[in-house]
Structure 1
């Protein structure tokens, strides 16, 4: 079954406790800070029902129509379909959103690969994986991920400080486990459920730990509290900040104040080896849509920079073309890593088709690490007017507007209003508070850069280079290379 936008909105009116800027939110679907992004997610649901998009966004199985985004990938066509679905959504909404379900569902697919590992500790946990994978497909719920704890003093073990600094199990009951702690999560306040798992697995000799817990948490469950950061939406005129007012994906500190997790929603508990395995495979699939988003960010930077160059005739200069080529190389570099990871895809332990891991993780490093430099190139190409141009009200007010319309009109094709709109878009993309927030989000949303590099190290096959050098240098056969 596929949901409608109104069904999604109705599911959010469950009495959940949401706070923002000191205010208790009565309805997340209508509050000015959340309504724009809720509307975007609702639009995605409605698109599935429209003849124009239905075959691109859904598939039929057992006479039931399901979303393409949540289909576990088993063949190359599944990934091709997902690429086409993301492209349809991004172009319809006219922007880039990250945490809207497809970027986090891959973490549940990783559980499929870890099913046998979980079964070693408790067979019912493995059965829970099967049930939840099917439930997400059949109910089309908005599923996100709860990753980052407040952590507290990182030089001290969790049990040596306030234990709530990291999510842990307080006690067991016949009905399930009771958890306490908190997680930072994007989109939690307007999602249906989250996959909660440990941020780190720094266990050494511990076989069991109350901090080794992975489960599904309903975002409207009793004891779940969403304390949100200030939103960029509603602060300014959308004419001046078109991206911030439509696509801000609000983060929250999600507090778990003695929350009951039914046993059927538990994937692992106390077993540190199970938790470590899940953490090591967490982004096996979800890194793909995460990196794919940056392809569209690159397109926006190229488009904004190219239009600015064309407006003023600078696109004919070789120096400008070289910088535009730098942006194009960045874009195509992302595209190449994504394309190759699917072309070289391999079967996973759970029978799914996973992107070639070394290529995918290397692509994530490339896309994330180069983004700051690419944003600066785009700023240079857009020029200083993105930081000095007055707001839309100044253009529309007699007196100031007369002069602004005079000086911002370039020629018979580029009148002042189009010039102002493009500069406002570029400012919001590259220079605004929202732009800075998104840049930081990209660097840390799937772990910091050193973890990205660790994933490449853990998945790259060093045997080929080692053997090549062994033969080229004439090294002895008895020399053993490091294990992977």
Structure 2
């Protein structure tokens, strides 16, 4: 049931229409701006077969072998296994990749939790959800997620402007629904399928809307067009920009030009409250994988900063140690939230085990809201040479090379070549176009910062602090009221039915 890297590459040669830099891409598996990430995803597939890593990357059940990242989380050990597998991948490839499949399949589990709700709209939808979760486990596709639309003028409802600014259904057929519009999807050009869901939209008072639709899209479907931003790979030599050339995940505007979505792939449709509910609970699992990536990014910043401080002996200074400690506090804060979210995991309405929601979402706010500050601290610790050091070609040049060898060699342990490599790594991690892109992407990869705080508000247990103050101040019981926190067994279904 687990694919090989070659099977994944072959699956992308389906005639899809991909454009980048004004050219039509003949084969995404060989194009220089896509190949690095295709190769990484292929390597992840091959790690599932490699005897050295198969035990970490896979699990066996009913005589079949499946990817641990796709496994439905039922017990606490499932989350420890997922975390260990992700760490193994990132450490093996030597960097951070965000959209490789394990982080978006969790959105399907959120739908699994909402089956009771969707059954009220159409019982077939919950059947479709269960079928697709089964297919992900048993067929191991590269599964991504489609979220943001172009949106157009946000002060207007979609019906009062070009209707294609938000993806919508244009007609129903016996075979399925036909959709038009566009979605921004990272990695779509080299993925197999995407969970396509509605953006945060102004529904008004409408109970039904053609814009409230969620489905699984086969990314080889006729009518799809992939228009990609320029990749970072290949813009400059890999020895000068080692991260840009290996880990750039190309973002794509996916055009849906009257694309047929078979009924068996439709997960919900038209019911605006269902769409709103799904949006509110979408990240209850997938946020874990995103925050874990920030933990690894913190490790990379600490390593780059500490090496730069140690090579010149600055790590002995108290001011430098304090800044390193700030990076460590950030790193361990993320680690603590991830660990506690699993240790205090909650049973979901659908019977799955979800990370403790309050701890997970507060950890996400910590990881994302402080990232830019931590990057700046790491820049300070690396020093100004990350922005002024000549490129590798200058070090090799017979005329300039000897001078650079002289001034970049510190001692017998830190010779010029190692120092140049470290500075190039730090520049690409913290200071390059790729570094700026990744910072922005990390802040908005799942949802914008205001939505992160809204998730905390919905999931924090407000009753605890209120009850403590009520008792301490001697207030009557009736002042407590209801906080409306939608958590605990059955609360989601109850919330939805109350809204109805």
Same fold (TM over 0.5): yes
Give the corresponding residue for 1:383.
383
Matches of 2:328 and 2:458, distance apart in 1:
30
Give the corresponding residue for 1:339.
339
Task: Tell me, yes or no, if structure 1 residue 363 matches structure 2 residue 363.
Answer: yes
Matches of 2:272 and 2:375, distance apart in 1:
41
Kindly state the Cα deviation for residue 205 of structure 1 after the two structures are TM-superposed: 1.8
Residues 368-396 of structure 1, C-alpha deviation per residue, up to 9 Å, x if partnerless?
Answer: 00000000000000000000000000001
Kindly state the Cα deviation for residue 479 of structure 1 after the two structures are TM-superposed: 1.8
RMSD: 0.7
Give the corresponding residue for 1:194.
194
Give the corresponding residue for 2:321.
321
Give the corresponding residue for 1:93.
93
Give the corresponding residue for 2:17.
17
> Which runs of 5 or more structure 2 residues have no equivalent in the other structure?
485-500
Give the corresponding residue for 1:136.
136
Residues 426-474 of structure 1, C-alpha deviation per residue, up to 9 Å, x if partnerless?
Answer: 0000000000000000111111110000000000010111111111122
Matches of 2:447 and 2:92, distance apart in 1:
29
- Please tell me whether the aligned partners of residues 40 and 93 of structure 2 are also in contact (alpha carbons under 8 angstroms): yes
Aligned residue runs from structure 1 range 91-240, under 5 A = 91-240=91-240
- Please tell me whether the aligned partners of residues 197 and 215 of structure 2 are also in contact (alpha carbons under 8 angstroms): yes
Matches of 2:482 and 2:155, distance apart in 1:
30
Residues 163-214 of structure 1, C-alpha deviation per residue, up to 9 Å, x if partnerless?
Answer: 0000000000000000000000100000000000011143232111000000
Give the corresponding residue for 1:437.
437
- Please tell me whether the aligned partners of residues 157 and 203 of structure 2 are also in contact (alpha carbons under 8 angstroms): no
Kindly state the Cα deviation for residue 480 of structure 1 after the two structures are TM-superposed: 3.5
Matches of 2:201 and 2:467, distance apart in 1:
33
Residues 228-272 of structure 1, C-alpha deviation per residue, up to 9 Å, x if partnerless?
Answer: 000000100000000000000000000100000000000011011
What is the TM-score with the length of structure 1 in the denominator?
A: 0.99
Task: Tell me, yes or no, if structure 1 residue 40 matches structure 2 residue 40.
Answer: yes
| Secondary structure of 2:40 counterpart | helix
Matches of 1:368 and 1:474, distance apart in 2:
39
- Please tell me whether the aligned partners of residues 186 and 251 of structure 2 are also in contact (alpha carbons under 8 angstroms): yes
| Secondary structure of 1:44 counterpart | helix
Kindly state the Cα deviation for residue 477 of structure 1 after the two structures are TM-superposed: 2.6
Task: Tell me, yes or no, if structure 1 residue 280 matches structure 2 residue 280.
Answer: yes
| Secondary structure of 1:333 counterpart | helix
Matches of 2:202 and 2:464, distance apart in 1:
31
| Secondary structure of 1:195 counterpart | strand
Matches of 1:312 and 1:350, distance apart in 2:
55
Task: Tell me, yes or no, if structure 1 residue 405 matches structure 2 residue 405.
Answer: yes
Matches of 2:91 and 2:4, distance apart in 1:
19
Matches of 2:25 and 2:141, distance apart in 1:
22
Aligned residue runs from structure 1 range 286-305, under 5 A = 286-305=286-305
Matches of 2:344 and 2:74, distance apart in 1:
14
Matches of 2:479 and 2:137, distance apart in 1:
50
Give the corresponding residue for 2:68.
68
What is the TM-score with the length of structure 2 in the denominator?
A: 0.96
- Please tell me whether the aligned partners of residues 201 and 279 of structure 1 are also in contact (alpha carbons under 8 angstroms): no
Larger deviation: 201-210 or 336-345? 201-210
Matches of 1:47 and 1:140, distance apart in 2:
13
Matches of 1:216 and 1:462, distance apart in 2:
36
| Secondary structure of 1:60 counterpart | strand
Give the corresponding residue for 2:372.
372
- Please tell me whether the aligned partners of residues 157 and 202 of structure 2 are also in contact (alpha carbons under 8 angstroms): no
Matches of 1:280 and 1:421, distance apart in 2:
44
Matches of 1:68 and 1:101, distance apart in 2:
11
Give the corresponding residue for 2:494.
none
Give the corresponding residue for 1:421.
421
Matches of 1:384 and 1:437, distance apart in 2:
21
| Secondary structure of 1:478 counterpart | helix
- Please tell me whether the aligned partners of residues 201 and 272 of structure 1 are also in contact (alpha carbons under 8 angstroms): no
Residues 134-168 of structure 1, C-alpha deviation per residue, up to 9 Å, x if partnerless?
Answer: 00011100000000000000000001000000000
Give the corresponding residue for 1:245.
245
| Secondary structure of 2:51 counterpart | coil
Matches of 1:281 and 1:482, distance apart in 2:
20
Matches of 1:443 and 1:96, distance apart in 2:
15
Larger deviation: 197-206 or 86-95? 197-206
Matches of 1:89 and 1:68, distance apart in 2:
12
Matches of 2:439 and 2:322, distance apart in 1:
24
Kindly state the Cα deviation for residue 483 of structure 1 after the two structures are TM-superposed: 2.6
| Secondary structure of 2:388 counterpart | coil
Residues 48-95 of structure 1, C-alpha deviation per residue, up to 9 Å, x if partnerless?
Answer: 101100000000111110000000100011001001101111111000
- How many residue pairs are counted as aligned between the two chains? 484
